[in-house]
Amino acid sequence: MNVFLKGYFGHKNFGDDAILLSIFRLLRNEGHEIKLVGRGAGIRELLGPGVSVVSDAKWYSIIVHPFYILLTDGVVIGGGGLFQHDSFFATAYKLYLVFIAKILRKKTLMVGVGVNPVNNQLTKLLWKIAVKCLDVAVMRDDSSHKNVLNAAGLKQSNKILTGADLVFCEDFVISHTDLDLAVIIPAMPWSGSELDSPRVQKRYKKLVNDFSIIVKTLQKSGYKKIIFLDFHDATDSILIKDIVKASNLDGDAFFEGRSFKETQDILFKADFVVGMRFHSIVFSIAMKKPMFAIAYDFKSENLLNECGMNDSYVRYGIRKSEFFKEEFDFNSVDLEKKLKSSLDNKALNQERAASCAKKMRRMAMANVDAIRKYF
């Protein structure tokens, strides 16, 4: 069958690239031909030059896409946090393919999708219509499942299922671990315009200093190699460079522009991971790595709590807003204490990650089952 696949693809974001790879492999393994929607250069760099890509970079894409859908057997939308905000126009732009597919009588699926709470009444109306149009939607966590049902005004629906992040569908095999290597994956919390504010600059300097404490704590625990990875190279590299400088690390600690495979290979080798990006946490668990997390949003916190790893992370409040809710810095003493505890109890930490990986993989198979049932 021919499948029209839409998501946040080709933007050189490691987490979204990982999701794309998982869906792409899943569909290809089931024998489907795929028409991808996204930024062509980034997608071809990840999947190879032969992949069929339809651009979403131009305003007229929304006019062109229906013609491609007409030539396919169905639409798959996924995955990741596509619906972070409840803006009517942002949601309409992401859901319009569902409505088009229904008009054209094509099968329509969502897989591994995250949805934040919806309060806008017009956006709720969009979800109510979308649920009627969809064949099935597999949410990546229980909170997303509840958010969609609430938005659509439903108590339950056999169309809305709970699964897990698509990365958990992958069965990672680790052949070699470098016992001297610890990997740190920060996330730049602020935009360039926000950093112009003296208040944010003060917080930024403290964040850099707190990451320096993380580096020193890892070194004291015996890690001779510290490598930083940028999961979103457009922004994270700025923060990483300042941390490397403040920590007096050499040039080997960070290289810009690593490919997806190079980044993943370093993660494979790591003995311990400190992750701030959501998919750094997902990958650490899926790879059954001992880890310590910095949870700056609810999706990270919910996943860690569900895994019984509530003593293996600290919370960080980026800003008070619709998405993040709170604004606060680390307690540096608490940060160091919790990290040291995670390092001292590394075996238990790894055991919990392995147990959670098994559970999440079982839940993530709901995405596989949905695709097999409807395509």
Q: What is the largest CA-CA distance in the chain?
A: 62
Give residue 159's domain range. 2-163
Q: What pLDDT does residue 352 have?
A: 95
3-state secondary structure of 160: strand
Neighbour count for residue 39 (Cβ, 10 Å)? 17
Q: 65 in a domain, yes or no?
A: yes
State whether the Cα torsion 304-306-308-314 is positive or negative.
positive
Q: 82 in a domain, yes or no?
A: yes
Q: Is the pLDDT of residue 50 over 90?
A: no
Q: Which DSSP string corresponds to 269-332?
A: H-SEEEE-SHHHHHHHHHTT--EEEEE-SHHHHHHHHHTT-TTSEEE-EE-SSTTT--EE---H
12 with 86, same domain?
yes
Q: What pLDDT does residue 6 have?
A: 93
Q: Alpha-carbon distance 111 to 367, whole Å?
A: 6
199 with 93, same domain?
no
Distance spanning both ends of the chain, measured CA to CA? 7
Q: 176 in a domain, yes or no?
A: no
Q: Which residues contact 62 (CB under 8 A, 6 or more apart)?
A: 93, 96
143 with 190, same domain?
no
Q: Alpha-carbon distance 118 to 153, whole Å?
A: 11
204 with 327, same domain?
yes
At position 187, the amino acid (one-letter code) is A
Query: Which of 130, 163, 196 corresponds to the end of one domain?
Result: 163
Element (H, E) at 144: helix 142-152
Question: Total domain count for the chain?
Answer: 2
Residue that has been written with the tokens 């998405």 in this structure? 323
- Specify the CATH number for the domain of residue 35: 3.40.50.2000
Q: Which DSSP string corresponds to 41-81?
A: HHHHHHH-TTS-EEE-SSTTHHHHHHHHHHTSSEEEEEEEE
Q: 197 in a domain, yes or no?
A: yes
Q: Is the pLDDT of residue 166 over 80?
A: yes
Structure-block tokens of residue 256: 């810009």
275 with 143, same domain?
no
209 with 155, same domain?
no
pLDDT tens across 75-113, in order?
Answer: 999 888 899 888 999 999 999 999 999 999 999 999 999
Q: 97 in a domain, yes or no?
A: yes
Query: Which of 163, 193, 216 corresponds to the end of one domain?
Result: 163
Q: 371 in a domain, yes or no?
A: no
Nearest residue to 8 via CA among 81, 67, 87, 91: 81
Q: What pLDDT does residue 160 have?
A: 97
141 with 185, same domain?
no
Q: What is the DSSP letter of 170?
A: S
Higher pLDDT, 297 or 157: 157
Q: 201 in a domain, yes or no?
A: yes
Query: Which of 163, 194, 228 corresponds to the end of one domain?
Result: 163
Q: 234 in a domain, yes or no?
A: yes
216 with 335, same domain?
yes
Q: Is the pLDDT of residue 21 over 70?
A: yes
194 with 332, same domain?
yes
pLDDT tens across 321-361, in order?
Answer: 766 668 899 899 999 999 999 999 999 999 999 999 999 99
66 with 202, same domain?
no
130 with 235, same domain?
no
87 with 187, same domain?
no
